[in-house]
Chains A and B, each alone.
Chain A
Amino acid sequence: MKRLFHYLLLVGLLIPTACVDLDFDEPPPGGEPIDITANATILDLRSWFVPGAFTAITDELIIRGIVIADDASGNFYKTIVIQDETAGIEIKLNSVGLANDYPIGREVFIRCRGLVISDYNGLVQLGGGTYDDAGQTRLSGIEEALLKDYLVAGERDQFVTPKVKGIKDINTNDMSTLIQLTDVQFIQSDAGQTYAEPVTQLSVNHMVEDCSGNSILLRTNGYADFAGELTPSGKGTLVALLGVFGSDLQLFVRDQNDVDMQAARCGQGGPSGGDVDEKFETVGNNADVALAGWLNVATKGTRVWRGKTFSGNTYVQATAYNDTDPEMETWLITPAIDLSVAKKLTFLSSVAFWVHDAGSVLISTDFNGTNIGGATWISLAAQLPTSSTTNYDWVNSGEVDLSAYSGTGYIAFRYTGSGPGGQTTTFILDDVLVQDK
């Protein structure tokens, strides 16, 4: 027994209890801090570009841009597009899942030395090198294993505000930058069509026009996850990147959220059939209201309705406070409303620093979409804030019956005031809803 004890002791020494370390520390969130600064603009980089040639960058050029397109929706593939204050450029990467590393809004530095700048039918691209494709020299993407040699990703969520443009103002200087078109629509034959061919996964070109008949192509990749969705039939806003294919300018959206066309089509004034349900959440803080289908017009003075964000909620307001124009009158008019069925209106309104009755709610059934003064406006009986309303307390309009009106109608929120005259009440509006009664 004693011997047995000795052996067991020996065994105790021989079998250590914790020898294979399989507990792993999780890396800290946040990643490594970056230490890089740009020494050139994208425009500087583009000055290396020679049309039709493959030009290797031989200088220590470091550019910085914000990602304006990634591969999340599949409309861009193995490609990101970055933009700085001077220009934008498409970067070809031979990798997928790029939206994880270089999502829209992320700051990216690129060490350009060793990369090659060229174009694909006019679209300027920065890539990793060249290869031969059946006799054709082509630009290759930056290989995955080399990404960290060339690209350094920085801060996230630095979104670029699109440049507002008219179709006829778009030119190749806008190439690979984010632009916003207002009051545009898919041409009749392209409206209600799939963005691309989801089954055959072929790309499709659609035509987008403004109300003056200017038009531009919008191209969608068959691999985009919204390829099978339908293009809207209405008119509105489009945010897109500008691409080039030969002599054609063509737009690319990042995903479907870049297309917001719910208003009545050009010239029709309705009926669009569309009701109004506007919470103004897409309006930028302190930005003039520019919603698809809505009109925001100063008929006296220069001020118009603006967006305001408070405590996570965005609403719109108009105020003559500190206005130097002698008089102020601004109209916020809904898209056309089909009144062939009975409708009702509700909205929230409020005031701040009440000195006078500034707001009124009107309806017109003969408004042509542009000429406010030439239309007949009838005041609607809605609950509005008064002198006793506490600052910023919402007042519910109550149900405003529109069943007495027929045809195509527009509802206007009119603000009147005068900065010099001391009529400076701030009038606040939110949650405008027109629906079947």
Chain B
Amino acid sequence: MVRSALVFLLAALFSLPLYAQVISVQGRVADKVTGAGIADAVIAVGDMAFGTRADGSFVIRLNLEMDRELTISMVGYNPRVVPIAKDVSKSIELGDITLTKGSDRTQTEELIQDIPVIELTESDFDENAAGNVSGLLQAARDPFVSAAAFQFSAARFRIRGYESRYTTVLLNGVSANDPGNGDVFWSEWAGLNDVMRAQENQVGLSFQGESIANIGGITTFDTRAHRQRKQIRAGYATSNRTYRNRAMVTWSTGWLKHDWAVSVSGSRRWGQEGYIPGTHFDGWSYFLSVDKRLAKNHLLNLTVLGAPVNRGRSIANTKEQNEIAGTNYYNPYWGKQEGEVRNSRVVDAHQPIAILRYDWQMDASSNLMASFSWQDGKYGSSALEWADARDPRPEYYRRWPSSMDDPASAAQVKEALMNDESLRQVDWTYLYNTNYNSPATIQNVDGIAGNSISGLRSKYMLQEYRSDARTLQGRVVYMKSLNNRHLISAGLQGQQLQTDYFKSVLDLLGGDFWLDIDRFAEFDFPNNPEVLQNDLDRPNHLVREGDKFGYDYQIRSQNYQGWAQANFTGSRMDGFIGAELGMTSFYRLGNTHNGRFPENSQGKSEVLDFLTWAGKGGLTYKINGRNYITGAVFAAANAPDFTNAFVSPRTRDQVVPDISTEKVFSGELTYRLQAPNFKFRATGYLTEIRDQTDVITFFNDLENTFGNYILSGLNRRHIGTEWGAEWKLTPSVVINGAAALGQYYYTDRALASVIQDNTGEYVYQDRTVYIKNFHMDGMPQEAFSLGVTYNSRKFWFANIQLNYFRKSFLDFSPDRRTAAAVVGVEQGSEQWHAILDQEELPAGFMLNVFGGKSWKIKDTYLYLNVGVNNILNNTDFITGGFEQLRFDDESRDVSRFPNRYFYAFGLNYFINFSVRI
């Protein structure tokens, strides 16, 4: 199948007319003083860039009608422009092009690179991955992408509104997208900034030889040791964001004797409390990369990296809660235990990955890359659990004045909550004391008659939700350039994933054991002891710290793809085309025999198979050497995320009816101007994502039971334009501007079904959800940035940037957009609108400043960078939020369960000092 696709592609390609006059240019980039070749120097021609080989040599293709100069640059060296003489008409050999070391410009560039963006992955705004810009740590030269990465990320901006799963991320050739849902977990390699610099970012639908990337584009990291700059570097940073301190040390040897290269890096990021109260951070990162050149054209690399982290989380709050707490950063997750702040919601994760990569330069025009990786680890997220006891969470709505019927009591409670912080925080002492006073004798433990065990039965405990994934990947990519005009590449890739989902007991909080029964079933089926059991094979099971309980299942997933693509360079036209075909299959394997679902909780579920495909193509028309127009289209069918394929995988293997692949169609048109002192890009795009299904499990407080909400037939459109410009006013003053004008919205009504989690029965089925033209939530759909940078010849620079965000919308509850939600409500009334309208969040400004200075003392470089974001300390900037899924369908009063909002950090800073030799 793959081969025939390839043949088809090649045939299609060769039928295109090609008139360009293309020559090949060879040469070698070398250090002026030592004469040594410089590997991985960047040779830019027009809007394309190439890297030099390990010995500094290069061979590139040049379209003489377009490009008449090469810009050669390398970090740590002064860049050089090499013109190609007008009379050249055949392939030429340029010989050695030498670069001189050091300059203000490269030092300044390095400073800029050292300014980290706000790493949303490390904050709590999103349990999962961040948007698709956080990874662009050292963003490309593109002014728009640069603004998106450095300036917009604090507002949770996402390029074109895409989730991170629509951006392909490759780590040394293997996919870093989660095989389950495609999300990218940047935190898995956080704290390794020094060694993750060798990366390439492409946003949108452009050609990239290593992969048929998704609609968001692609980011590739090359962690090979010889690609790391030869250095010893140590740095310390202080910040008031998610952590207070960061210490980092890196040692990269470059090529050593006997064809070895080694790169080692480690860091620690820590803080007893981050910007938000009660959020501790304790993270280590480690990295080891070893290269061995086996033979002249054979290179082997082993990379091992990991970032164990333990961090306290925070939550979005209602306006009432923030008002009473006196801050928009109120965090109910922590409480004092014997005088110390303890967070009840802690992420504890460590998912190390080992990658073995083999590169074979088969001949001057073709190479083969094979990568294999193994990832194994733990992802745990803690939470309080309780039984036969009151809800211990301070944020529980019944504890807040707005839920109270009696205005006098409400006022009294409000005052108490305002004056007594301990009432707004977790009362650990109460939890311990409750457990200390709950002696119990459990009969027939593990279903063994007469086996009775006495002790303190914990009414409260700290549990950990675990999703421990093991992933095995293999990926082979072959690339060949044909007669300097065509590049073809093809690849095969496969992923196997096993994720264990279970809960474990983290801390019994003074008790002796936890009785593993379902407290919600206890309420729903008071007189059926079987139904309560989480595992019928071990009824009345007692668990202690470290034991699994609640649920225990595995998702086994595998996917394979084959793809091929071709790129051609013409005189006026460049183009590419590519296609991919694959399959994804997964199933659930239940390890427990659930009392609610004795028939379908244990063992293997139905295997779900999906045929996936993607196709992509584009053309660039070169008006002249400075003006380009590019158009590209993309279509794909993606497998659904398995969390949206099972109704409630924690208890059973019930499959969402009619689950199918989602269909993606995307097109974009770009105009680019590339002048010496002025860069400009404008892109228009249109993307349709259709047939999505979303499964949400939520607690229906009024029914006191869980429901599974299945939303199907979600069709959405992302349409908009992107603008970016950079104007070099003088050699030291640069003005840049960027704008994103997008509209991301649902194009059709969807269907909702609700299944009662404890019985598997439909509460209702296929109810129309009126969300046509509702907006996607979670990011500003319009963002603007304007800034000026001053680059001093005396090794310092400063940048001030004003950003403006608007058209951000609240996540909406589908249940409120059904006909049933407005029964008896007068059409067009205030209440009608309160229930149905989607809330648009206020627009906001953010002013950011950053700068840096470097010194060179003999061979030692010292760097200092300072970044201050939100310098006006705007603490009312709402980045997003959500409506609660509960809806009181008696009173139909939406304020009963008020919305929750996330706020951007107020003034926050990052100061980094590093030393390099």
Where the two chains meet, the residues of A that have a C-beta atom closer than 8 Å to any C-beta of B are 3-4, 7-8, 10-11, 14-15, 19-22, 24-27, 29-31, 72, 74, 94-101, 103, 128-133, 138, 140, 142-146, 149, 156, 198, 225, 227-229
Contacts and interface: CB of A to CB of B under 8 A. Distances in A.
Interface stretch (B59-67, B127-135, B337-345, B899-907): B337-345
B526 A100 contact: no
B390 A156 contact: no
Contact of A100 (B412, B434, B917): B434
Given A20-B282, A131-B407, A29 B436 contact: yes
Contacts of B434: 100-101
Contacts of A229: 527
Given A7-B249, A22-B310, A100 B416 contact: no
**Which 5 A-B residue pairings sit nearest by Cβ, starting from the closest?**
A97-B390, A131-B405, A140-B406, A20-B282, A131-B406
A144 B249 contact: no
A76 to B, nearest CB: 14
Interface in B400-434: 404-409, 412-413, 416-417, 423, 428-429, 432-434
Contacts of B388: 72, 97, 99-100
Contacts of B796: none
Interface of B: 232, 234, 236, 245, 247, 249, 251, 268, 270-272, 280-282, 310, 337-340, 342, 386, 388-391, 398-399, 404-409, 412-413, 416-417, 423, 428-429, 432-434, 436-438, 459, 510, 526-527, 915, 917
15 contacts: A3-B232, A7-B234, A22-B310, A26-B432, A27-B337, A96-B390, A96-B391, A100-B438, A128-B406, A129-B412, A140-B405, A144-B398, A145-B423, A146-B409, A225-B526
A24 B338 CA distance: 8
Given A14-B247, A27-B337, A95 B390 contact: yes
B271 A26 contact: no
A227 B423 CA distance: 35
Contact of B282 (A22, A98, A101, A132): A22
A312 to B, nearest CB: 15
Contacts of A10: 234, 915
Nearest to A3: B917
Contacts of A25: 337-340
Contact of B437 (A19, A20, A100): A100
A24 B437 contact: no
Contacts of A30: 436
B389 A97 contact: yes
Given A3-B232, A100-B437, 16 more contacts: A7-B249, A11-B249, A20-B310, A24-B337, A24-B340, A26-B338, A26-B432, A27-B428, A94-B404, A96-B390, A97-B390, A131-B404, A133-B405, A140-B404, A143-B399, A227-B527
Contacts of A225: 526-527
Given A96-B390, A130-B406, A228 B510 contact: no
B404 A143 contact: yes
Contacts of B282: 19-20, 22
Given A20-B271, A146-B416, A228 B527 contact: yes
A21 B312 CA distance: 12
B390 A140 contact: no
B247 A100 contact: no
A96 B399 CA distance: 12
Given A99-B388, A140-B406, A156-B437, A29 B510 contact: yes
B433 A27 contact: yes
A131 B410 CA distance: 10
Contacts of B429: 27
Given A27-B432, A129-B406, A156-B437, A19 B245 contact: yes
A30 B435 CA distance: 11
Contact of A198 (B417, B437, B526): B526
Given A25-B338, A27-B337, A145 B272 contact: no
A83 B611 CA distance: 71
A72 to B, nearest CB: 8
Nearest to B411: A129
A31 to B, nearest CB: 5
A29 B439 CA distance: 13
A7 B232 contact: yes
A140 B409 contact: yes
Given A100-B434, A145-B423, A20 B408 contact: no
Nearest to B460: A100
Nearest to B507: A24
B416 A31 contact: no
A31 B433 contact: yes
A14 B234 contact: yes
Nearest to A149: B416
A130 to B, nearest CB: 6
Given A19-B245, A198-B527, A4 B399 contact: no
A425 to B, nearest CB: 39
A330 to B, nearest CB: 37
Contact of B389 (A19, A22, A74, A100): A100
B337 to A, nearest CB: 5
A144 B272 CA distance: 31
Contacts of A228: 526-527
Contacts of B428: 24, 27
A390 to B, nearest CB: 33
A161 to B, nearest CB: 22
A143 B526 contact: no
A99 B388 CA distance: 9
B406 A227 contact: no
Nearest to B400: A145
A113 to B, nearest CB: 13
Given A15-B247, A27-B432, A146-B413, A4 B232 contact: yes
Contacts of A11: 234, 247, 249
A146 to B, nearest CB: 6
A7 B915 contact: yes
B416 A20 contact: no
Q: By CB atoms of chain B within 10 A, which of A20, A31, A72 has the most? A: A20
Nearest to B420: A145
Nearest to B311: A20
A306 to B, nearest CB: 29
Contact of B390 (A15, A103, A132, A144): A144
Contacts of B436: 29-31
A7 B862 CA distance: 13
Contacts of B386: 97
A219 B388 CA distance: 23
A293 to B, nearest CB: 27
Contacts of B407: 131
Nearest to A29: B436
Contacts of B247: 11, 14-15
B418 to A, nearest CB: 11
Q: By CB atoms of chain A within 10 A, which of B398, B409, B437 has the most? A: B409
Contacts of A143: 399, 404, 409, 412-413
Contacts of B337: 24-25, 27
